[in-house]
Amino acid sequence: MIRAYKFLMRPTVGQQRALGDMLKDHCSLYNGALQERRDAYRHVSRTSIKYGQQSAQLKEIRAFDPQRQGRWSFSSQQATLRRLDKAFAAFFRRVRSGDTPGYPRFRGVNWFDTVDFPKDGDGCRWDSTPHDPTTRVRFQGVGHVKVNQHRPVVGKVRTVSVKREGKRWYVVLTAEQAEPEPLSPTGSVIGIDMGIANFLADSNGEFVPNPRHGRRAAAKLEAAQQSLSRCKRRSNRRRKAVRKVADLHRKVRRRRLDHAHKTALDLVRQHDFIAHEDLRIRNMVKAPAQKPDPDQPGGFLPNGAAAKAGLNKSIADAGWGVFLTILTSKAESAGREVIAVDPRNTSRTCPECGHVAAENRPDQETFHCVGCGHQAHADTVGATNVLRAGLVRRDARQG
Ligand SMILES: [Zn+2]
Tell me how far apart the alpha carbons of residues 204 and 192 are, in angstroms, rounded to a whole number: 9
Q: Are 123 and 140 in contact (CB under 8 A)?
A: yes
Q: Report the separation in Å between the CA atom of 353 and the middle of ligand 1, taken as the mean of its atom positions.
A: 4
pLDDT the model gives residue 73: 97
Does 147 score more than 90 pLDDT? yes
C-alpha 371 – ligand 1 centre gap (Å): 5
Q: How far is the CA of 126 from the centre of ligand 1 (A)?
A: 54
Cβ atoms 123, 130 nearer than 8 A: no
Distance 355 CA to ligand 1 centre (A): 5
- Most confidently predicted of 9-23, 96-110, 274-288: 9-23
Distance 55 CA to ligand 1 centre (A): 74
pLDDT at 285 over 70: no
Residue 103's pLDDT is: 87
Position with higher pLDDT, 100 vs 137:
137
Distance 360 CA to ligand 1 centre (A): 8
Provide the pLDDT for residue 1.
Answer: 80
| 180: three-class secondary structure by DSSP | coil
In sequence order, the 6+-apart residues with CB closer than 8 A to the CB of 185 are 272
Compute how many other C-beta atoms are within 10 angstroms of the C-beta atom of residue 7.
19
Identify any residues that bridge with 3 across adjacent strands, giving them in sequence order. Answer: 175
Buried-state track 277-312, b at ≥16 Cβ within 10 A, e below 16: bbbeebeeeeeeeeeeeeeeeeeeeeeeeeeeeeee
Q: What is the 3-state secondary structure (H, E, C) of 91-139?
A: HHHHHHCCCCCCCCCCCCHHHCCEEEECCCCCCEEECCCCCCCCEEEEE
- Whether 305 shows a pLDDT value over 80: the answer reads no
User: What's the N-to-C CA distance of the chain in angstroms?
Assistant: 30
Residue 72's nearest CA partner among 162, 140, 126 is: 140
Q: How sure is the predictor about 315, in pLDDT bands with cuts at 50, 70 and 90?
A: low
Quote the ligand 1 centre to 320 CA distance (angstroms). Answer: 30
The more confident residue out of 214 and 151 is 151
The whole-number average pLDDT for the span 113-122 is 96
How far is ligand 1, taken at its centre, from the CA of residue 274, in Å?
A: 24
> Is the per-residue pLDDT at 306 higher than 90?
no
Strands laid side by side in the 156-165 sheet: 114-117, 156-165, 168-176, 2-10, 143-148, 135-139, 124-126
Closest Cα partner for 261 from 316, 212, 323, 210?
323
Q: Which helix (H) or strand (E) holds 240?
A: helix 236-270
Give the distance, in angstroms, between the CA of residue 248 and the centroid of all CA atoms in the same chain.
21
Phi, psi of 234 (to 5 degrees): 60, 25
Place 389 in a pLDDT band, splitting at 50, 70 and 90. very high
Q: Which residues pair with 272 in a beta bridge?
A: none
**Least-confidence region, from 69-83, 218-232, 383-397:** 218-232
Average pLDDT over residues 85-104: 90
**pLDDT for the residue numbered 295:** 55
Percentages (nearest 5) of helix, strand, coil residues in the chain? 45, 20, 35
Work out the pLDDT band at 13, boundaries 50, 70, 90. Answer: very high
CA of 369 to the centre of ligand 1 (A): 5
What is the helix (H) or strand (E) element at residue 176, kind and residue range?
Answer: strand 168-176
Query: Could you give the CA distance from residue 164 to residue 107 in angstroms, rounded to a whole number?
Result: 15
| pLDDT surpasses 80 at 286 | no
- If you average pLDDT over residues 380-399, what whole number do you get? 92
Q: What is the mean pLDDT of residues 90-109?
A: 89
Task: Quote the pLDDT of residue 250.
Answer: 76
Helix-helix angle 13-42:74-96, to 10 degrees:
40
User: Does pLDDT of 8 surpass 90?
Assistant: yes
Is residue 9 very low, low, confident or very high in pLDDT (cuts 50, 70, 90)? very high
Percent of the chain at pLDDT exceeding 70? 89
> How much distance in Å is there from the Cα of 281 to the middle of ligand 1?
25
Contact 192, 274 (CB under 8 A): yes
pLDDT of residue 313: 60
Q: Express as a percent the part of the chain with pLDDT over 90.
A: 56
The Cβ of residue 50 has, within 10 Å, a number of other Cβ atoms equal to 11
What is the spatial distance between Cα 176 and Cα 44, in angstroms, rounded to a whole number? 47
Tell me the per-residue pLDDT of 225-284, one tens digit each, with 9 for 90 and over.
888 888 888 888 888 888 888 888 777 777 888 899 999 999 999 999 999 999 877 666
Q: What is the number of other CB atoms lying within 10 angstroms of the CB of residue 192? A: 29
pLDDT band at 293 (very low <50, low <70, confident <90, very high): low
Average pLDDT, the chain: 87
**Across residues 169-196, what is the average pLDDT?**
89
Task: State whether residue 302 is helix, strand or coil.
Answer: coil
Sign for the CA dihedral angle at 235, 240, 246, 248 comes to negative
Cα 55 to its chain centre, rounded Å, is 35
How far apart are the CA of 157 and the centre of ligand 1, in A? Answer: 51
282 C-alpha to ligand 1 centroid (Å):
24
Grade residue 79 by pLDDT with cuts at 50, 70 and 90: very high
- Ligand 1 centroid to Cα of residue 190, in Å, is 21
Please report the pLDDT score of residue 218 as a whole number.
76
